[in-house]
Every structure is written in structure tokens, then in C-alpha cells.
């Protein structure tokens, strides 16, 4: 009997370690030998810890489990009160299109054998048989765009690095994942780290880069552990090293740990941080693709962008491209969070409407109160009111509605939220995290907090000042921290004016 208890950070935060312990104790009490696998999460955080039991009859799930629920797993699994049936039949799971996350939760994350048995390395093997131009075309044809936020075509970025002449090129994976409401990078690295390694290896092969770094935020100790172990195992097995899989060129990589600065998710700030400097943002040009890490041509890509590449190479670019909507091709791992009944990671084709995501997949709020606002795309993303729920999930579609999809974090708020407080928080966050390089962001955000405080005290004259300040930040900031903070602020002000007027009336 094989028992799976996730070691994903969210599962652990909900007691998975205690459940795993109880499973071992119960098995030994009964003198049974079981195999305990600490898998990744299947993404259904509302069911975590989600335990799976595999017997000759197949694999079936139980959740959310507590240590007290464990003995019944052994006694009467069929009538267990927490029985959820086979995971692939749970409706929340069944309606997804899991390409990038296909193996997450399914396999033992650190078993290269499991990885290969479930399609792992097929992408790299095919890439190794292709010519340089064919590899490049594969990425371009797939239509893959950066999942870190900006949505830049991955193929074009790679081609710039490929065509650059240099004695050293780098692949840098951006695993800083600082956006509130996001955890796709974390779940991928914890649940299927070899996919990221394979994606980075293909990136190295395609662009001529031989060294890679994964820059992981310090807030993710579990992801750091899993990635470090996976890299060690990959090297031991000749996947990484002087020759990729023993036939290709050299490629090796290592993990680097961030130090609690949100702005280090911005690619040039990240490069400075990797070089051991303050994480200030660099002016562009030069592009990192031409002068990146230590001045060398560098691919900087998000975890999900890179981890999707193996699927594309294994299954074909055209197949990937067939999923999606408009210029948003393929799938997107939505992260449904905040005050929501069924929260978690939901991978689906682009194109689902925001309302469907919030109400049908998410099941509305956990509190049972009406949804008031949904922030999409992290702390620099706009707050959407219910009147915009028809917006389909896609880069251009959200841009057209005055928002952005960012890293696809979706944070749901019920009607108890005070949108003035949320706008103030956006400015405060920008002030705390500003790298200090440009005035509109560094000073503007501090002024923004003060101005919102004046509005809160009933000073209506401060309203136009806030609008001006947002214009200045939007137009005059070097990077999107200062430049996009106006999104949450202005969307709050525009769509929820009552929250900004209420205090004024109270003061009069």
C-alpha cells in the first residue's frame, strides 16, 4: 500500500506533517509495511491535507485530513467520512487542463524514476535531436508568453540571447514570486522540480547558455529545499553537468536565495541581487538579453514560463497553441485566493471569464457574503468590481479593462472590505518596497499614503491630488512598482467611490 501525504507548504501549513506522522504510527501499530510518499499538492487547497491511498484497485483520495481521521483510513476506507474518490474525478480537478502542472501532486517530486515514467525528459530528448533553428521555431510557434507578468513572447527573448555573441550566457529563473495571491511557482518547484530543471536545460540548449540560476525568495524554504535536492539528484544522474543527458552540451545550475525585497522580482533588480548588489532597478536599454547577469546575455524567465517548455517540446508547439484565446495561447495556472470557498491552483485554457472563475470555480466567498472586489495580478493589479466579471482571462482582455493579469493571482474580497484601506495599502507597500531609484515612486508613494489619509479625514480637496499623483507615478517611474501602483489605487477610487466619500460625510 502506498500512501501519499503532500509536503507542499500549504498542506504543511494545514497540518500535513502531523497527518504523515499519524500514518506512520498507525501503520506500525498494525504491523503493516506501507510506502509513504510526500508528493506535491494537487492544487485543491480547500481539501488539504489531501491524502491519497493507492492499492491494487487504484488511487483514491481523502481530505481535508486530520491525524484523528487516520485510523479509519486503515479500517474502513470505503466509508471514510473524508473520502473524496479518485482525484481525477473530483469536479474541481476534472474541469482543468493540466499541462504545466500535469505531474504536480501525482508523482514523488524527487524521484527521477517517477518523473521519467510520467513523460519527464521527453521534451529535452526531442530538443536534443533538433537543430538550433527548429528548437527556436518550436518556442515561437507555441505562442508562449512570459507568465511573470509582462507577457513578453518567450521565443523572441530567447532568440535575442541565442543570436548574441558572448563567451558566457546565462539562464536565470525568476522564482521571486512576491505577488500576494500567487503560489504557482512555489507549488511547481515543490511538486515537480525536475520540470523546471528540464525547462532551463532546454533554454540553455536553445540559446547557448551553459549556466543557470534559480532565484528563489527566502519566504519559500520548502521550495528552496526541493529545488536544491532536485538539482543535486539531476547532477548525480547526468541530467545536468558537462553534457546534458550525456549527449548534449554542458549545462549546470544552482539555487540562489533572495532576501525579502519585493522589487527583486523585477528582472534587472534581480540580476543586481544575484551579483551581490543592492536590488536597485537598472535602466533599460541595455536589455538583459544582451547585457544581463555580469554584463552577459541572459534569459530571465518566470518559473511557469520555463516549466511549460518541456510540455511544448514533448507534445508539440502546435498542440499548445491550440489552447487559449486571442493572443493568449496555451494554459494559465490561476491561483484563486483570498476570501474564497474553493481556493487553490486551477490550470485552464485562457479565456474563462473572471465571474466564472470567482463564482463557479471558486464558489464565491468563504464567508458566504457577497463578493465586493477581486484584485487580479498581485499588488500592482487592479481591483475589479462584479460589473466587470464578464472579462475573459487573457492579457489583452484585462488590459482593455484597465487591469492586468500579472502572474494570474486572483484575490477575492467580500463586502466587508474597505477599498480606501486597500488603496492606502497599495501606496504603503510601494513606499516600503521602492528601490529608491526614482522620485515618483520613492516620494510619490509616501505622498500617496498621506493624501489618502487626508481623504479618509474628509478632505475632498485631496481627491484630485491623488489622481495627479497617480498620473505622475504612472508616467514617471522607471519600473512597474511605481508605474503600476496606480492600478489598485485608481481602480479602487473609480469603482468604489462610496468608500472614499463615506468618511467625508462622517466628518461634515
Partner 1 sequence: MLDTADFSSRLSEIIAAHQLQEGPLLPILHDVQAEWGHIPEPAIPAIAQALNLGRAEVHGVVTFYHDFRATPAGTTVIKVCAAEACQAQGGRDLVQATLRAFGLRDYGTTLDGKVTVEPIYCLGLCACGPAALVGDRLIGRATAQSLKDAAQ
447 binds ligand SF4 (CB under 6 A): no
- Least separation in angstroms between residue 259's CB and ligand FES is 18
Place of cell 461634515: 508
Applying the rule CB under 6 A, the residues between 448 and 487 that interact with ligand SF4 are 477-479, 481-483
Place of cell 524514476: 113
Please say whether the beta carbons of 312 and 123 come within 8 A. yes
Contact present, 202 and 301 (Cβ < 8 Å):
no
Pick one of ligand SF4, partner 1, ligand FMN, none as the site partner of residue 414 (Cβ within 5 to 8 A by kind): partner 1
Residue 457: C-alpha distances to residues 56, 156, 448, 503 (Å): 67, 50, 14, 6
DSSP labels for 325-369? ETTEESEEEEEEEES-SS-EEEEEETT-BHHIIIIIIS-S-SSSS
β-strand partners of 36:
3
Piece of the chain touching partner 1 by CB under 8 A; list 84-92, 132-140, 251-259, 347-355? 251-259
Rounded to whole angstroms, the Cα distance separating 310 from 200 reads 9
Closer residue to ligand SF4 in complex, CB, 302/477? 477
Nearer to ligand SF4, 224 or 445 (CB): 445
Burial state string for 139-177 with b = 16 or more CB within 10 A and e = fewer than 16: bbbbbbbbbbbebebbbebbbbbbebebeebbbbbbbbb
Under the binding rule (CB under 8 A), the answer on residue 186 touching partner 1 is yes
The answer to whether 373 contacts ligand FMN (rule: CB under 6 A) is no
Count how many residues are written for the chain: 508
193 touches ligand FMN (CB under 6 A): no
What is the rounded distance in angstroms from the CA atom of residue 48 to the CA atom of residue 333?
18
Indicate whether 150 belongs to the interface with ligand FMN (CB under 6 A): yes
Nearer to partner 1, 9 or 289 (CB): 9
64 preceded by cis ω (within 30°)? Answer: yes
Minimum CB distance to ligand SF4, residue 473 (Å): 8
Nearer to partner 1 by C-beta: 14 or 144? Answer: 14
What x-and-dash track marks residues 416-435 binding ligand SF4 by CB under 6 A? ------------------xx
Kindly give the pairing relationship between strand 331-338 and strand 344-349. Answer: antiparallel
Among 177, 198, 267, 349, binds partner 1 (CB under 8 A): 177
Binding site for partner 1 (CB under 8 A): 9-10, 12-14, 45-46, 48, 177-183, 186-187, 218-221, 256-262, 273-280, 294, 335-340, 343-345, 366, 375, 379, 409, 411-414, 417, 421-422, 425, 429, 433
Binding site for ligand FMN (CB under 6 A): 146-150, 152, 174, 176-178, 263, 265-267, 300-302, 305, 479-481
Amino acid at each position: 500500500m502506498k500512501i501519499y501525504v503532500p509536503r507542499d507548504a500549504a498542506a504543511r501549513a494545514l497540518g500535513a506533517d502531523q497527518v504523515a506522522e499519524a500514518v506512520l504510527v498507525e501503520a506500525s501499530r498494525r504491523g503493516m509495511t506501507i510506502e509513504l510518499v510526500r508528493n506535491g499538492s494537487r492544487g485543491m487547497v480547500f481539501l488539504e491535507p489531501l491524502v491519497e491511498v493507492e492499492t491494487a484497485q487504484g488511487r483514491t483520495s481523502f481530505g481535508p485530513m486530520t491525524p484523528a481521521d487516520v485510523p479509519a483510513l486503515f479500517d474502513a476506507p470505503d466509508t471514510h467520512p473524508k473520502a473524496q474518490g479518485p482525484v481525477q474525478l473530483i469536479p474541481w480537478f476534472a474541469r482543468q487542463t493540466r499541462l504545466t502542472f500535469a505531474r504536480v501532486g501525482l508523482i514523488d517530486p524527487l524521484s527521477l524514476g517517477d518523473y521519467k515514467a510520467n513523460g519527464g525528459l521527453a521534451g529535452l530528448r526531442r530538443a536534443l535531436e533538433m537543430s538550433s533553428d527548429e528548437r527556436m521555431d518550436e518556442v515561437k510557434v507555441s505562442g508562449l508568453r512570459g507568465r511573470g507578468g509582462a507577457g513578453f513572447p518567450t521565443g523572441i527573448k530567447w532568440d535575442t540571447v541565442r543570436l548574441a555573441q558572448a563567451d558566457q550566457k546565462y539562464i536565470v529563473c525568476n522564482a521571486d514570486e512576491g505577488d500576494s495571491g500567487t503560489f504557482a511557482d512555489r507549488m511547481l518547484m515543490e511538486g515537480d522540480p525536475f520540470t523546471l530543471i528540464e525547462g532551463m536545460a532546454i533554454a540553455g540548449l536553445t540559446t547557448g547558455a551553459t549556466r543557470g540560476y534559480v532565484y528563489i525568495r527566502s519566504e519559500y524554504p520548502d521550495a528552496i529545499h526541493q529545488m536544491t535536492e532536485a538539482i543535486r539528484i539531476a547532477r548525480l544522474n547526468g541530467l545536468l553537468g558537462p553534457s546534458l543527458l550525456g549527449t548534449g552540451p554542458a549545462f549546470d545550475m544552482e539555487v540562489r536565495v533572495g532576501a525579502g525585497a519585493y522589487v527583486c522580482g523585477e528582472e534587472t533588480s534581480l540580476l543586481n541581487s544575484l551579483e551581490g548588489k543592492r536590488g536597485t532597478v537598472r535602466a533599460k536599454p541595455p536589455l538583459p538579453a544582451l547585457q544581463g547577469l555580469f554584463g552577459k546575455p541572459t534569459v530571465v524567465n518566470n518559473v511557469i514560463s520555463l516549466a511549460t517548455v518541456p510540455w511544448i517540446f514533448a507534445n508539440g508547439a502546435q498542440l499548445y497553441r491550440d489552447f487559449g484565446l486571442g493572443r493568449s495561447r496555451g494554459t494559465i495556472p490561476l491561483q484563486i485566493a483570498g476570501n474564497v470557498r474553493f481556493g487553490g491552483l486551477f490550470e485552464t485554457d485562457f479565456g474563462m471569464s473572471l465571474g466564472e472563475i470567482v463564482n463557479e470555480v471558486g464558489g464565491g466567498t468563504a464567508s458566504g457574503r457577497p463578493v465586493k472586489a477581486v484584485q487580479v495580478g498581485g499588488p500592482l493589479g487592479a481591483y475589479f468590481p462584479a460589473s466587470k466579471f464578464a472579462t475573459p482571462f487573457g492579457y489583452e482582455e484585462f488590459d482593455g479593462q484597465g487591469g492586468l493579469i500579472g502572474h494570474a493571482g486572483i484575490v477575492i474580497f467580500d463586502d466587508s472590505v474597505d477599498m480606501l484601506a486597500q488603496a492606502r495599502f497599495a501606496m504603503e507597500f510601494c513606499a516600503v518596497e521602492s528601490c529608491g531609484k526614482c522620485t515618483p515612486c520613492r516620494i510619490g508613494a509616501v505622498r500617496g499614503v498621506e493624501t489618502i489619509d487626508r481623504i479618509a479625514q474628509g478632505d475632498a480637496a485631496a481627491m484630485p491630488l491623488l489622481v495627479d499623483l497617480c498620473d505622475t507615478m504612472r508616467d514617471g517611474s522607471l519600473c512597474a512598482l511605481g508605474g503600476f501602483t496606480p492600478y489598485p489605487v485608481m481602480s479602487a477610487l473609480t469603482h468604489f467611490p462610496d468608500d472614499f466619500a463615506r468618511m467625508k460625510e462622517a466628518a461634515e
